[in-house]
A and B are shown apart, each in its own frame.
Chain A
Amino acid sequence: MEQVLAFISKHQEMIYLVALMIVLGIELIEKVPSVLHTPLMSGANAIHGVVIIGAIIIMGQADDVYAKVLGFIAVILGTLNVVGGFVVTDRMLDMFKKKKK
């Protein structure tokens, strides 16, 4: 138990950040018209592709085959998430642009 508390104390900066981000995320979404929910979900989907940074760090430090293979797959999947996510969102939003003419 103490270890857990120590961990929290050690990372309290992060915990402040997390709390603020949660509030910010809620605030940002609250007033969005339902029309934009799908593109927004898709855009948010692309943003959590930031997990790719973890994959890059892993791949960049990998020495053995296990880490190299899994790291390589992780980089590919993470890129799919980021690139695919942003491109799909962009295509969806193109639809919205058209209708404003």
Chain B
Amino acid sequence: MQQYILDIIYVIGALSFVFGIKLLGKPESAKRGNFIAAVGMTISVFGTIFLYHTEDGAHLKNLEWIFGGILIGSVIGTMMAKRVQMTQMPQMVSFFNGMGGACAALISLVEFHHSSEGVSMAALNSLGESVTISVVPTMEIGKAIVIYLGLIIGSISFAGSMIAYLKLDEKLKDKVLPLQQVVNVGLLAVILGIAACTIFEWVEIPYALYVLLGMSLLYGVLFVMPIGGADMPVVISLLNSFTGVAAAFGGFLYDNKVMLFGGILVGSAGTLLTVLMCNAMNRSLVNVLIGNFGGGAKGGDARVITGTIKEITKSDAASLMKYSKKVVIVPGYGLAVAQAQHICHELEQQLEANDVEVKYAIHPVAGRMPGHMNVLLAESNVSYEKLVEMDEINPEFRTTDVVLVVGANDVVNPAALNDPASPIYGMPILHVDDAATVIVMKRSMKAGYAGIENELFYNPKTRMLFGDAKKSLTELVSELKNA
């Protein structure tokens, strides 16, 4: 009876995930979608605790430990999630993702231990005193595959997510080892090789499980290490789907449909999301997988741009904007890093007080995650109608007097349109050079994450305003107030 109820609970849980994701896809229903998925998760978890039966019909024990763990996790999780700043959202997602990956890896470790133990005991009974039995080969091959893959993927996801978290938190810098790609591919091949050897009993490797654990963790680190901060969204999304797959392996292990459902759903949706992001940045997923992008990207073939750079003072910039009819702000990664979204909104209000029409041009990959700019600007009360997506804003640049680029670089680089040798060639960009004047706020002349020069900076229409985005914007606002 209880088993039947649990089965029904799992059906409800699985459906709640499907509808949750469905509703998350529309702005008006997104909050409800999240809530429905959370309710489905809650009943699935408590259903498992109270109604789950093992094969021999026993209830789950150690309930005090289970509730203790859930209590600790809930308190810490809620506190972290409530305290985090909106700008730090991506690393928070990455952190929680890593926790899920670690959970999947631990399940594999314990389950391996558990299964191998059961087998060796049976052997002892039938053979009398013999105990020297190799444990892995006696395990059902399908189960071994599931356990090993769960361990490998979970560990990669955990280590990778932690590195992504630390990098986004600026506790770690990008590092590219010599021959990084060769090392990465080689390591992955060795991992899969050891796993295959052990599962199919070709070669016996002592402590294969722990060797694999260590190597997978190392791979996770090496996989994410060389990737630049601005590329992190793709990696987080990919690791997200990895954890989904790891969870699905757990579902296989326990013949648990709700785990399978949730895991595969996230795995496939996350992979598609990753591909969508790659497309928006004009990168292939293969490139991402072998760690061939980020700080070390080869920009050598791109043509060298010569020309002069014209700077503009803050007071000139302020008066230029004040006497414009229409100003479009292009926020980018730099705005998120400088946490300048609030002051940006203030600038917008100041300009509007002077009868200037202000809009924001949102490139699909601006910020640290797709849609991150929207979340950040929405947090500082910028109204939804002012956030205009790329395809809609591009024709409007022709009638724009001033474009203010705040910490964006590659998404406004004309090389994507006219330089086939450029690594970002083909990526859709914001056509800011159609506007009468472009003011680019930038910390330095350093190239963007694609590591290439931006000829926009040398455009006769362009004026550079060097400095930290937040500081410069603050000064612009006070100039506007005083002018």
Contacts and interface: CB of A to CB of B under 8 A. Distances in A.
Q: Answer whether A and B are interacting partners.
A: yes
Given A51-B100, A81-B96, A98 B375 contact: no
A51 B378 contact: no
B247 to A, nearest CB: 4
Interface in A1-37: 3-4, 6-8, 10-11, 14, 17-18, 21-26, 28-37
Contact of B266 (A6, A48, A71): A48
Give the interface centre of A8, A62, A68, A84 by most chain B CB atoms within 10 Å: A84
A67 B266 contact: no
Contact of A90 (B13, B31, B257, B263): B31
A45 B106 contact: no
B259 A43 contact: no
B69 A44 contact: no
A58 B110 CA distance: 7
A83 B74 contact: yes
B119 interface: no
Q: Which range contains the number of B residues in contact with the other chain?
A: 35 or more
B243 A48 contact: yes
Interface string B134-151: 000000111001000000
A25 B45 contact: no
Interface in B432-480: none
B269 interface: yes
B481 interface: no
Give the interface centre of A50, A59, A90 by most chain B CB atoms within 10 Å: A50
B384 interface: yes
Contacts of A29: 21, 25, 269, 272-273, 276
Contacts of B353: none
Given A40-B25, A51-B263, A67-B114, A28 B269 contact: yes
B152 interface: no
B258 A80 contact: no
Given A51-B246, A88-B92, A40 B273 contact: yes
A87 B95 CA distance: 14
Interface in B111-161: 111, 113-114, 140-142, 145
Interface in B73-107: 73-74, 76-78, 80-82, 84, 86, 89-90, 92-93, 95-97, 99-100, 102-104, 106-107
Contact of B254 (A57, A93, A95): A57
A88 B41 contact: no
Contacts of A49: 41, 96, 99-100, 103, 247
B250 A17 contact: no
B370 A34 contact: yes
A45 B157 CA distance: 12
Interface string B377-406: 011011110010100000000000000000
Given A60-B60, A61-B54, A51 B37 contact: no
Given A38-B89, A54-B250, A78 B103 contact: yes
A66 B145 CA distance: 22
Give the interface centre of B25, B113, B258 by most chain A CB atoms within 10 Å: B25
Interface string B307-349: 0000000000000000000000000000000000000000000
Interface of B: 13, 17-18, 20-22, 24-28, 30-31, 33-35, 37-38, 41, 44-45, 48-49, 52, 54, 59-63, 65-66, 68-70, 72-74, 76-78, 80-82, 84, 86, 89-90, 92-93, 95-97, 99-100, 102-104, 106-107, 109-111, 113-114, 140-142, 145, 236-237, 240, 243-244, 246-248, 250-270, 272-273, 276-277, 280, 362, 364, 369-372, 374-375, 378-379, 381-384, 387, 389
Given A21-B264, A21-B268, 9 more contacts: A3-B141, A3-B142, A11-B142, A18-B264, A36-B27, A38-B371, A39-B371, A50-B13, A92-B89
